[in-house]
Amino acid sequence: MIIRKPASRAPAALRQSAGEFFLFAIMMQLFDLKPYSGRCVCVAVSGGRDSVALLHYFRENAAAYAITLRALTCDHGLRGADSRADAAFVGRLCERWKIPLRVFRADVAQLAEQAGEGIEEAARNWRCACFREALAEGADVVVTAHHLDDYAETVLFRLARGTSLAGLNAFPDRPGIARPLLHVPRAVIDRYISEHALPYTEDATNADERFTRNRLRHTVLPALEEAVPKAAEHLVRFAERAAEDDAYLTSLALAQTEEKEGAVRVPLSLPDPLFSRACLAAMKRFGVEKDYTSANFSEFFKLRQLASGQRVSLKRGLCAAREGDDAVIYPRIPRFEGEVPFAVGKVTTCAFTLEAGEGEHPDALRVDLDAFPPGCVVRTRREGDVFTPYRGTQRTLKKFLTDRKIPARVSRSLPLIACGKVVYAVCGAEISDAVRITKHTVRRGYLFTPMRTPDHVYKGDFTMHPDCQRILLSEDVIAAKVKEAGKWLTEKFRGRHPVAVCNLKGSSMFFCDLVRATEVDLELDFMAVSSYGSETVSAGRPKITRHLFSSVEGKDVILVEDIVDTGRTLITLRNFFKDRGAKSVTVVALLDKPSRRIVESHADYTCFEVGDYFIVGYGLDYAEKYRNLPYIAVLKESVYEK
């Protein structure tokens, strides 16, 4: 460690030759202090010239801006006596300037070894932990002395190594951390040190050009500045624009992803810049922040050529599989090979958690607890398992899982309740018909696993219409969702007077409940469009059979739809209202069948997404029957195959 003694002020002739570029420093205007007014600021001080200048600048202006000033220093223990000497220097400086100092010490080399990290990464992580501790102790913000040349050096270094746009964001925003010198050149800081005759320490290794960063700092960047004036400033501006572009592209990518069943789904059809960003975001979602490489992205792109169901391995126990037209990124879950006796209570294994209890639980299967035969156990799937799903016929468990489109990565770890080869519940998916709730049920219970939300939740089927195969959405589930939709409309149209249009007849019940749940003044109107008739599949030729009673010109329209299927009806109706001068059109749909989509069209708010079943109830019909059922159920195939 070298300690630079305070120097006398530079000669006047030298000060004048610096010109206007140094005027801010001479006038003590390194940066704007207004954002720090009235706050508790903790300066991270290493003892070097940059951090000493930063600490001095805050000290000189603390009273004028009502700033409570503190300091911290981090002794990494990497340079032996020199590290300790740097910390001692900072201690003496803060004591002389009457600034409270917090000293952090650690053996970073040992921390790196324990965490399996590089020295630089371990040092950075430890410093961040120190900063968080300073914030927890009352500081409003921790400020560091990174400056414009640091920024430019980092950008140049990363560009030379072939970084992406994301890598140019060298100093991303972090909560509670500020870098007020980030747009101040090193020359200005040097001038500030000279003008105020400030002492500082200097790490002798910083002059060793065997290190790439030092060579960039002392040789490459000065040569670039000489050839292209203000090169450092231009590099920083470029990096900032690149970070903005990357953030925008990332937002587009994230809008196309879906997190479901412990995995992130990314459409394989996304353009490469969005696809790679969506996959990167998925890896970060599962904790892989820095160890990804170009090889990982090659694996993602390889999925486009693989068959559905095939997978590739990634870093830190992550996998990516192709499922249909999506890449699915998920953590590898260990397989549970044992079994646990089934009873009311909670079971936790390496692969799953299952909670069985009396009463009800949201997002859980509901069962007759007394209907399970003696000897049932909790386990995962095995070869030869058979299952009789609710209101269905016996089949192999494998066929049931395939029919329900439950991917193998999920099904291999789902908890089952079984006796021998007979499965009585696929937890998170479906119960056996043998354990359904009936009018004879004494002990109603539930089976809950956080791994997956069941395909449908029902209270019991003893009042179900005999033409229905199973209840998909119960009365209470529908009512809760309609209430949420009403709140959404209330917030969206607060202070406005929209007209709510009911598309007869399928959305009639939904419409009545929805407008009652919407707390704004509404006009009501009705129209009818048909694309089903007496068929079970949309004919795809929407036809308006009943027009509106009044004009919608200049009005906000809320179109209430029962179901979005092919998407053609929605496009027809949006165009219908547009042609009649509607100010805006907001579509609220009870149900969405994305698997049936032919044209790209979506509701602005959808209550439920359903599979490709023919469903009835709560306004939905088949051949004008079943509209008055209070629930939504799957119609038996035998009814419409007659």
**Catalytic residue ranges:** 565
On whether the CB atoms of residues 69 and 39 are closer than 8 A, the answer is: no
Which runs of consecutive H residues, i.e. helices, occur in 161-220? 186-195, 212-215
What is the H or E stretch that residue 501 is in? strand 499-504
Beta bridge partners of 15: none
On whether the CB atoms of residues 130 and 104 are closer than 8 A, the answer is: yes
- Distance between alpha carbon 59 and the CA centroid of its chain, in Å? 41
Handedness of CA 413, 418, 421, 423 (dihedral sign): negative
Q: Is 142 helix (H, G, I), strand (E, B) or coil?
A: strand
125-152 burial, b if ≥16 CB within 10 A, otherwise e? ebbeebbeebbeeebebbbbbbbbbbbb
What is the H or E stretch that residue 313 is in? strand 311-313
On whether the CB atoms of residues 556 and 584 are closer than 8 A, the answer is: yes
Three-state SS letters, 440-458: CCCCEEEEECCCCCCCCEC
Residue 435 identity (one-letter amino acid): V
Which runs of consecutive H residues, i.e. helices, occur in 525-617? 568-579
Beta bridge partners of 41: 69, 141
Residue 408 identity (one-letter amino acid): A
Strands 258-260 and 584-592: unpaired
Q: How far is CA 356 from CA 261, 342, 364, 382, 444, in A?
A: 20, 9, 9, 22, 11
Nearest to 465 by CA among 641, 621, 608: 621
For the chain, the maximum distance between any two Cα atoms, rounded to a whole number of angstroms, is 103
